[in-house]
Structure 1
Amino acid sequence: MTQDSFSDDDLDLFRQAVKGARPIKHQQADVGKARRDRANIAASRQRATVKQNEVVVDGLSDQFVIDVDPEQELAWAANGVQESQLRKLKQAHIPFDGSIDLHGLTIERAREQLWAFLAEAVKHEIRCVRVTHGKARRLDGRKPMMKSHVNTWLRQHDSVLAFTSCIPRHGGTGSVYVLLRRTMLEGRDD
């Protein structure tokens, strides 16, 4: 269409509609996504590791956390657990009946949720669960905090008989299978 094909009324309406508009000075679209503020992210992560004044008595200690590498496979068994049980657990031959994902939580919040999750699993006589802690490859080269804490906490929990890193389709070294002690509910035929 040419300018001649528009009526004067149309042209006046158009000029009124675009009155005050300015031409775009760049060719990139603004997608509205904020840029990453590395200083705020680092400060937020640091705050996540600081303990609150609230005291949780759950038997899990953070006094000595065993540092582990992101790709390191985890495996631990309490005294008396047979090697064959640990092997079955590692090969996913013992199905897990519950799962929890601790990604994105603070250390304290993850601890609370893990404690509650394990208590609920034991209450329902669940034999095996999966805990996803992630690998957290850190830019600063330090060890993954959540994985290291979960590794330490599970060793301290009275109901945990063993744990081992999952097979790749269940999370690999970012998750662990946890074998739980069962108390055999009264009247259960098992």
Structure 2
Amino acid sequence: MQDDDFSLFRSEIRGVKPIKTEHADVGKPKTDRKNLAKLRQAATVRSDATITVDGLSDQFVIDVGPEDTLYWARDGVQEGQMRKLKLGQISFEGSLDLHGMSVEMARETMWEFLAEAAKLEVRCVRITHGKAMRLDGKRPMIKSHVNTWLRQHQQVLGFASCIAKHGGAGAVYVILKRTMMEGRDE
């Protein structure tokens, strides 16, 4: 019987090559996190200047009218939260006024404001964009750009035009993601 077992074993392992190394191949090499962080940081800076690239695009700006109310919510945001936001029932903890700024200045100021709000784990802010018609009769520039930019910003969960006492169609409440204090939201 033992001879049969041995010959069966030999026939089963025929063609198997012995392992020549003592180290196992575990697939792709481990990511160098420090180097990756440096590369990501370098990707946010233009090579010709030290201007931070904010990821907000002006390629397609959604034109809105001076009296148009703004409303947008990211997928997954509860309708109840957005209803409260629209009714001004979520108190805002910070406010930014973009009146009189150029589009570039408004963009940079809004980006920095939202970054600071996110850093401080602020839940809701108000951004006053105004609603004035331009001299050339076209739609409001800052309002249209803010409407477009907020949809692109990763920290923004949704926004809605303010109630009259907080600026009406000339301002928006913005509800933001909070990362460090998960579970704190209603």
Answer yes or no: is 1:111 the counterpart of 2:99.
no
* 1:4-28 deviation line (CA, Å, top 9, x unaligned): xxxxxxxxxxxxxxxxxxxxxxxxx
Partner residue of 1:33?
none
Separation in 2 of the partners of 1:95 and 1:116?
A: 21
What is the deviation of 1:136? Answer: 1.2
Counterparts in 2 of 1:94 and 1:189: CA distance versus 1, 3 Å: closer
Answer yes or no: is 1:74 the counterpart of 2:70.
yes
Separation in 2 of the partners of 1:61 and 1:103?
A: 21
What is the deviation of 1:103? Answer: 0.5
Partner residue of 2:176?
180
1:30-179 matches, cutoff 5 A: 56-179=52-175
SS in 2 for 1:116: helix
1:17-32 matches, cutoff 5 A: none
* 1:31-72 deviation line (CA, Å, top 9, x unaligned): xxxxxxxxxxxxxxxxxxxxxx96641010000000000000
Separation in 2 of the partners of 1:106 and 1:87?
A: 32
Separation in 2 of the partners of 1:72 and 1:90?
A: 14
What is the deviation of 1:132? Answer: 0.3
> Which segments of 5 or more consecutive residues in structure 1 lack a partner in the other structure?
1-52
Separation in 1 of the partners of 2:137 and 2:184?
A: 51
Separation in 2 of the partners of 1:119 and 1:180?
A: 10
Separation in 1 of the partners of 2:184 and 2:154?
A: 25
> Which segments of 5 or more consecutive residues in structure 2 lack a partner in the other structure?
1-47
Counterparts in 2 of 1:161 and 1:189: CA distance versus 1, 3 Å: closer
CA RMSD of aligned residues (A): 1.9
Separation in 1 of the partners of 2:178 and 2:82?
A: 16
* 1:132-183 deviation line (CA, Å, top 9, x unaligned): 0000123432110000000000000000000000000000000000000001
Normalised TM-score (structure 1)? 0.68
SS in 2 for 1:61: coil
Normalised TM-score (structure 2)? 0.69
Separation in 2 of the partners of 1:107 and 1:56?
A: 16
